[in-house]
Amino acid sequence: MSYETAAPPAISAWNPERAMSDKRTVFARFAREVAPNLQRFAGRLAHPDSDLAADLVQEAFVVAYQRYVDGRLKLGEGTQSYLMTMITRDFLQRVRSDKRIHWDDEVAHRTQDGRDSVDAMLEREALSHHWEEVLLQLPADQRACVVMVDIEEMSYQEASEALEIPIGTVRSRLNRARLKLAQLLTTRGVIQL
């Protein structure tokens, strides 16, 4: 799907202010369409830190808008995957270097005290409590693979490109993550192998 459907104006009729306004309108329409998917994706990566998830999405939109205005980004089918790649890279960079991310019960309680959106509450209801807990116990790189492939249903190739790692690494991380998830869920009595 292309968001730029109108033909460009003739050279003599070109108005830079109007062109900028048109770009803002087109990008805003695109952003409204993909924002819920990106927020859900970032929320699963950064859970339980909903503020971090919102920051990741916002920063991806800021960079994408600037690239779109500069003509370095075309809006279309692959743009959402591109934004997911940006979000994933930013998240992993923060996990590696920013010690402000803490996966503790206090943060989880703050995000569950009723200040969440209706969508977030419905999502939380859909995912079992056990699944969320064991997913958070995975290392960030394995969790990113599980979220991309198993939850967001990206292909191995798409996850490989998003994470900038070989497809074999995606498969091995998924294998280790799935084994760890099965072990943790079995230990809790949620599943039986």
pLDDT for 61 equals 95
The total number of residues written for the chain in this structure: 193
Mapped onto helix, strand or coil, the DSSP state of residue 49 is coil
pLDDT for 137 equals 87
pTM value? Answer: 0.55
For 168, the token pair is 């074999």
pLDDT for 60 equals 94
pLDDT for 152 equals 80
CATH architecture assignment, domain 127-193: Orthogonal Bundle (1.10)
In b/e form, how buried is each residue of 47-72, taking b as 16+ CB within 10 angstroms? bbbbebbebbbeebbeebbeebeeee
CA atoms lying within 13 Å on the CB side of residue 107: 13
Where do the CATH 1.10.10.10 domains begin and end in the chain? 127-193
Task: Encode pLDDT of 2-11 as tens digits.
Answer: 555 544 444 4
d(CA 99, CA 145): 22
pLDDT for 98 equals 56
Q: How many CB atoms lie within 10 A of CB 5?
A: 7
Instruction: Flag residues of the chain having pLDDT under 50.
Output: 6-16, 99-112, 114-119, 121-127
